[in-house]
Amino acid sequence: MIEKHATAIWKGTLKDGAGTLTSQSGALSNLGYSYATRFEGAKGTNPEELIGAAHAGCYAMFLSALMSGEGIAPDSIEATSTIGLDPTTEGGPTVKSAHLVVKVKAPTDAAKVRELADKAKAGCPISKLFKADVTLDLTVL
């Protein structure tokens, strides 16, 4: 089993405190986040943005793998994952959705890309992680 990790350090109260995120690879190193960056739109990162990045990256790689398995070499796959967080959920804020917007440029027909894109949406390891509704908008260039 492959295991990767990241560490969060939080200091202070929820609204007045702040934290840092550091990933095993060092790609994130003491990256700051706070209540304001998560819930008030302040500049900086937040867990949902990072989940979106992980989902988009995972999805694009998985779709590329599926296409490669069919003998299709994509020119480009651009994936954006928007994570929907409902801060008013009883029991605390809850991630309710993950919406993928994907643009694919590849030397094949749109129907084949659609078939593989839907398989990637269901099969991407990060998509499988969600209990949320994962949706997809695809543009074939």
Q: Where are the domains of the chain?
A: 6-39, 47-140
* Third-level CATH fold of 47-140: GMP Synthetase; Chain A, domain 3 (3.30.300)
Identify the DSSP state of 40. Answer: S
**For 19-31, what is each residue's pLDDT tens digit?**
999 999 999 999 9
C-alpha 76/C-alpha 125 separation (Å) is 20
Instruction: Give mean pLDDT, residues 29-57.
Output: 95
The Cα-based distances of 19 to 7, 52, 82 in angstroms read 10, 19, 23
- How many CA atoms are closer than 13 Å to the CA of 112, on its beta-carbon side? 15
Closest CA to 141 of 100, 115, 109, 118: 109
Q: How far is CA 137 from the centre of its chain?
A: 14
Task: Report the pLDDT value the prediction gives residue 130, as an integer from 0 to 100.
Answer: 85
Task: Report the pLDDT value the prediction gives residue 131, as an integer from 0 to 100.
Answer: 80
Q: Are strands 31-34 and 18-23 parallel, antiparallel or unpaired?
A: antiparallel
Whether residue 36 has pLDDT greater than 90: yes
Contact 100, 55 (CB under 8 A): yes
- How many CA atoms are closer than 13 Å to the CA of 107, on its beta-carbon side? 5
Task: Report the pLDDT value the prediction gives residue 31, as an integer from 0 to 100.
Answer: 96
The 3-state DSSP class for residue 132 equals: coil
Indicate the pTM of the whole model: 0.91
**For 81-117, what is each residue's pLDDT tens digit?**
999 999 999 999 999 999 999 999 999 999 999 999 9
C-alpha 60/C-alpha 1 separation (Å) is 22
Whether residue 71 has pLDDT greater than 90: yes
Whether residue 132 has pLDDT greater than 90: no
